[in-house]
Structure 1
Amino acid sequence: MTSLITRRFSNPELPIIERVLDSRGLKTGDLSFSLNQLAGYQALKGIDQAVAMLEFAIRSQQRIVIIGDFDADGATSTALAVDALQQLGAHWVHYLVPNRFEFGYGLSSAIAQLAYEQYQPDLLVTVDNGISSFEGVETAHELGMKVLVTDHHLAADSLPNADAIVNPNQPDCLFPSKAACGCAVVFYVMCALRAHRMNLGDETAKNLNMAQYLDLVALATVADVVPLDRNNQILVEQGLRRIRAGQARPGVQALLQVAKRQAPLLTSKDFGFALGPRLNAAGRMDDMSIGIECLLSKEFTRAVHIAETLDELNQDRKSVEGQMQKEALKILETTSLSNEQEQATYCLYHPQWHQGVVGLLASRIKEKLFRPVIAFAPASDDVTNEALASGEFEIKGSGRSIPGFHMRDALDLVAKRLPHVLQKFGGHAMAAGLSIQQKHLKEFETCFEQVARDIMTADMLVNEIITDGEPNYEDYNVHIARQLKFVAPWGQNFPEPIFDGEFDVINYRLIGSEKNHLKLTLASKNHHRYLDAILFSIERHGLSAQDVSNLSRVHIVFDLDVNEFRGQENVQLMIRHLRSI
């Protein structure tokens, strides 16, 4: 992997906090993130029809089933929809989340049939899915159910024949935040429903504070890695403020406890690296209903009990992912030895891999190689020996991409060239999923590589790391490090501050049970100051123990962190990238 470190343009005369904000187009006066600055729900196409459907269902005491998704965005969306509808007077509300291993994603025909058989609902409401559920909507209609789709994923050339669709990414929708996650979309729908019911004189609706759901929206927005445009910044910051003030729902408080995070010190990064993974572990390893029940719990003790189960599932996920990474690295070693020419893409498959974890594996390998990666696993645990021998069984792939290479569009090109291979696919620019027969894997891999070579340019394969430059001597302090964490809600397309600089290595040691984390003492210019630094998982950075022993001077990319040890607080550099010089 070729890496290039570049620095954002900024005014070196400004103090470091102002310099970081200025380079992102902000000033300290822009940091109010007030709720009155949020985009209004009125601009959402289909919102009036959605509200009318929900109002009729409430007045008629209809049975409503929420069709969710098995990731953190889907879990928070489902919990928000169920709770808000109940608070707004719905007589009967239940939810159904497709099990990843049995049904796959979204409102399929099978899920519509299952919903009908189990609950006989009058209305299905999709959250974080549905914009591509053509067959599922038709099946629901055939069974006498109406369908309201709320989603945020990109629409295809046509839309399903739902009774109403609310999706900022559908054609002709004027809602300004196209980056809204699924939970944000359903939040807006419930805000519109509350306003409608208030206009009808409903006192319950008047007393319902919709801000109580901002902890869920903030968590979903960061965990789903959607771009933090101005609207999403407000949603995330307001959610963080409620949690820090002790106003989070019991389920979120429970997740904080098992993740060993303190509410007053919570940052947006904790959503992505602590709370989100524990929710996602339910959908990856078992059933997302566990995560939804945690979020819906009204009692903290019960929520903690469920959150402990989520934590255990997350530990299982880490163990499975670690083993899969080792196997993937072995595959890559064999591939590199057999290929004379460096590949533009990588497709990896192992018959024992876990389909719930292949997305994480693809992400890890993409980070290591800076190439688009698709990891595949069998779609079922019950593949016969005959099927294994013939390749006549389904495998599911999860892809992760690099900037400039649109993963979903690339799969569309493959589908056009090999219409017999792709059974189904969908996704975004940076992530996508697909299903094929195992016997077609080599054919798919060859075509996907060719599509990438047709699209890619050489500069796209260079991992550009953009930093905020080098801190001044006086910036290496606990106050600055903490202030940088809390000054704004950092996230996708609104990156947290990272810096770079050259340092002498004074000493080092490898720590952790596998001795794969690197602890360093570094000297700044002229050795005026020693700084602690740490690099986690050296193997992900292409470093071996021998490489580490030869380090004397390094160029690193890092963020400023606060390390607490025996009551003492010190600045610690969290290394993102390291190069020997």
Structure 2
Amino acid sequence: MTRITTRRVPLKASLLLEQQGVPALLARLYAARGITRHEELDTQLAALLPPSRLRGAEAAATLLADAIAAGQRMLIVADYDCDGATACAIGLRALRSFGARVDYLVPNRFEYGYGLTPEIVQLAAGRQPDLLITVDNGIASIAGVAEARRLGMRTLITDHHLPGQTLPEADVIVNPNQPGCGFPSKALAGCGVMFYVMLALRSELRKRGAFDSQPEPNLAGLLDLVALGTVADVVPLDHNNRILVAQGLARMRAGKMQPGVAALFRAAGRRPESASTFDLGFGLGPRLNAAGRLADMALGIECLSSDDGARALNIAQELNALNQERRSIEAGMQDEALLRLEELAAAEDDQAEERASITLFDPDWHQGVIGILASRIKERLHRPVFVLARGNEGELKGSGRSIPGLHLRDALDLVAKQHPDLLLRFGGHAAAAGVTVREADLPRFEQAFEAVCRQLLAPADLTRTLESDGALETANMSLASARLLRAQIWGQGFPQPLFADEFQVENQRILKERHLKLTLSKNGVRFDAIQFNFAAAAPSRIRAAYRLDVNEYNGVASVQLLLEHFEAA
């Protein structure tokens, strides 16, 4: 069941924003998202929080500056998703511009798992680095940091994931979510944390006179990478993150981006001059992530760190092919999962919908795609979902996605407390998490996770709620309004506008047996509309939740309504 609600619009805030020059439509939308002052919409770099407020950033700068001065070897240990790849590329590009001797290592996720494990440290030791730098990982790597110390390597942890009760004994830790860090933006992605460390390092090198006889590197040139990683990692777009994303998008639209980013736009068939957060999250990000899911994220890092446009394009085309393969694998897995759920519903006398969680496993499923499958099932059934695949001998690795109302990592923590011998490893965020269990313990895990979900979720949480911005005046259902909305920064925690209204259905047909294409009318004005991955017929009059979009076909732009949900009016 899906329920459409309407966001409350604080009238006073909306009127104040209008008085300060914000267009009326945007003033209403921003006020509904908690904006009360025009200053909160400032996306100039001058409004960015300073690195000095991020705990550990200045200590990291000193550590790195000393290592550069001593000619020591640095090795970045990267994560295998888009955030990790962009963070690694930021580190490589910035450190090399500062004269550092730096290389990177991105371990195969299927062999070595997640984080700075002792096995990865031993692998890294073959490169003989003096300093290990983690990006987008490491906050839980207690044993790995201890192994690095034993082998004589210093460690700098840069991460944004939630820490456990004990921190690793690294030389320096930079993480806005570590205890004692007063940095106001807890939502920095891994790439954002690394960018801040590089800003602090440049400041430290400036104090040491490093740029007295040579040009100072312009780190703003890395903001396209920061924007890409931030959007792709689906972190909340608070004010500070909106600045980072807005500045990165501005550079993309002006054609000032890394060759690899330009190549990814071309491979995805998208236009950088009109770049939006949608392009980053659904066009470029998945192509980078495909490398980590099916092959080796080194391919993605090479694309982003290469200065050779032709080479970057060749790699981007490889990434595009991997993404097509990933989609094919995912489609097959989704069909199998849905069939499994239908069988489950029949076996439980149609009571499967009453379950508070879903846990799925198949011995043939691809470990690199289980996170996407979990997300698809979660969207379809509005339940917390874990999808598992075989990992190391006798082990299952699971990827989970959650719904509002259930903090997934906290739920796993509760499972671990209630069943101390059940979870081999776990970690993650509120909305997404990973877990490793013994294959023999799968039934226990399913029962324990279901029990915790029932304990933590209220009945209302299990109803999908679409929070809309209410009706949109016909005059605002225009190409100009659609372009205005597209140009803004929307994302996690600052959602893209979703409107709700009643329409007459003038015409409808099914495209490619998968998508519902409609002609709708409101107040005598007709609109093209589409609902993707929905092949059922609509009644003659509907109440629809929709997004205002621009449809470009054969060089002609027109308004199109993207339907999220509809019901009989």
The Cα of 1:206 is off from its aligned counterpart by: 4.9
Determine whether 1:276 maps to 2:285.
yes
What letter is aligned with 2:325? D
Contact in 1 for aligned 2:62/2:204 (Cα 8 Å): no
1:72 corresponding residue in structure 2: 82
Contact in 2 for aligned 1:6/1:467 (Cα 8 Å): yes
Residue by residue over 1:500-555, the C-alpha shift from the partner in whole angstroms, topping out at 9 and shown as x without a partner, is: 1111111111112xx11111011114xx11110001101xxxxxx5x41x622211
Determine whether 1:415 maps to 2:427.
no
Contact in 1 for aligned 2:9/2:28 (Cα 8 Å): no
TM-score computed with the length of structure 1 as normaliser: 0.93
When residues 64 and 259 of structure 1 are mapped into structure 2, their CA distance, relative to the original with a 3 A threshold, is: same
Please, which of 364, 368, 373 is the counterpart of residue 361 of structure 1? 373
**Equivalences for 1:93-104 in 2 at 5 Å?**
93-104=102-113
Q: Which moved more, 1:166-175 or 1:457-466?
A: 457-466
Please, which of 138, 142, 146 is the counterpart of residue 134 of structure 1? 142
The Cα of 1:32 is off from its aligned counterpart by: 3.5
1:537 corresponding residue in structure 2: 533
The Cα of 1:568 is off from its aligned counterpart by: 2.7
Please, which of 150, 170, 177 is the counterpart of residue 185 of structure 2? 177
The Cα of 1:467 is off from its aligned counterpart by: 1.0
Q: Which moved more, 1:559-568 or 1:246-255?
A: 559-568
**Equivalences for 1:253-272 in 2 at 5 Å?**
253-272=262-281
When residues 142 and 30 of structure 1 are mapped into structure 2, their CA distance, relative to the original with a 3 A threshold, is: closer
The Cα of 1:26 is off from its aligned counterpart by: 5.1
When residues 309 and 482 of structure 1 are mapped into structure 2, their CA distance, relative to the original with a 3 A threshold, is: same
Determine whether 1:348 maps to 2:360.
yes
Determine whether 1:324 maps to 2:336.
no
2:21 corresponding residue in structure 1: none
Contact in 2 for aligned 1:108/1:133 (Cα 8 Å): yes
Contact in 2 for aligned 1:98/1:106 (Cα 8 Å): no
1:561 corresponding residue in structure 2: 549
State the distance in 2 between where 1:504 and 1:480 align: 22
State the distance in 2 between where 1:455 and 1:530 align: 45
2:53 corresponding residue in structure 1: 43
The Cα of 1:27 is off from its aligned counterpart by: 6.1
Residue by residue over 1:103-152, the C-alpha shift from the partner in whole angstroms, topping out at 9 and shown as x without a partner, is: 111100000000002x0111100010000000100111111111010111
State the distance in 1 between where 2:41 and 2:416 align: 46
Secondary structure at the aligned position of 1:165 is classed as: strand
Detail structure 1 runs of 4+ shifted over 6 Å in the superposition.
Answer: none
Residue by residue over 1:28-78, the C-alpha shift from the partner in whole angstroms, topping out at 9 and shown as x without a partner, is: 675441101111111121223211211121111111100000000000001
When residues 470 and 243 of structure 1 are mapped into structure 2, their CA distance, relative to the original with a 3 A threshold, is: same
Q: Which moved more, 1:177-186 or 1:14-23?
A: 14-23
Secondary structure at the aligned position of 1:563 is classed as: strand
What letter is aligned with 1:425? F
- What's the % identity of the aligned pairs? 50
State the distance in 2 between where 1:564 and 1:149 align: 45
Residue by residue over 1:290-340, the C-alpha shift from the partner in whole angstroms, topping out at 9 and shown as x without a partner, is: 000000010111110000000000001110111111011011101111225
Contact in 2 for aligned 1:181/1:220 (Cα 8 Å): yes
2:568 corresponding residue in structure 1: 580
State the distance in 2 between where 1:522 and 1:18 align: 27
State the distance in 1 between where 2:358 and 2:242 align: 34
Contact in 2 for aligned 1:88/1:205 (Cα 8 Å): no
State the distance in 2 between where 1:372 and 1:168 align: 27
Please, which of 133, 153, 159 is the counterpart of residue 167 of structure 2? 159
2:227 corresponding residue in structure 1: 218
2:3 corresponding residue in structure 1: 3
Secondary structure at the aligned position of 1:101 is classed as: helix
1:501 corresponding residue in structure 2: 501
State the distance in 1 between where 2:364 and 2:568 align: 37
The Cα of 1:177 is off from its aligned counterpart by: 0.7
The Cα of 1:200 is off from its aligned counterpart by: 1.2
State the distance in 1 between where 2:2 and 2:529 align: 24
State the distance in 1 between where 2:307 and 2:545 align: 43
What letter is aligned with 1:134? I
1:523 corresponding residue in structure 2: 521
Secondary structure at the aligned position of 1:160 is classed as: coil
Q: Which moved more, 1:49-58 or 1:66-75?
A: 49-58
When residues 27 and 483 of structure 1 are mapped into structure 2, their CA distance, relative to the original with a 3 A threshold, is: farther
Contact in 1 for aligned 2:58/2:201 (Cα 8 Å): no
Contact in 1 for aligned 2:148/2:155 (Cα 8 Å): yes
Secondary structure at the aligned position of 2:110 is classed as: coil
State the distance in 1 between where 2:92 and 2:220 align: 16
1:231 corresponding residue in structure 2: 240
- 5+ unaligned residues in a row in structure 2: which ranges? 19-23
Secondary structure at the aligned position of 1:157 is classed as: coil
What letter is aligned with 1:572? Q
1:83 corresponding residue in structure 2: 93
Contact in 2 for aligned 1:197/1:205 (Cα 8 Å): no
The Cα of 1:462 is off from its aligned counterpart by: 1.9
Give me the CA root mean square deviation.
1.6
1:313 corresponding residue in structure 2: 322
Secondary structure at the aligned position of 2:282 is classed as: helix
Contact in 2 for aligned 1:251/1:294 (Cα 8 Å): yes
Contact in 2 for aligned 1:126/1:148 (Cα 8 Å): yes
Residue by residue over 1:139-196, the C-alpha shift from the partner in whole angstroms, topping out at 9 and shown as x without a partner, is: 1111111101011111111100101111110000111111001111111111111111
State the distance in 2 between where 1:140 and 1:306 align: 33
Q: Which moved more, 1:103-112 or 1:52-61?
A: 52-61
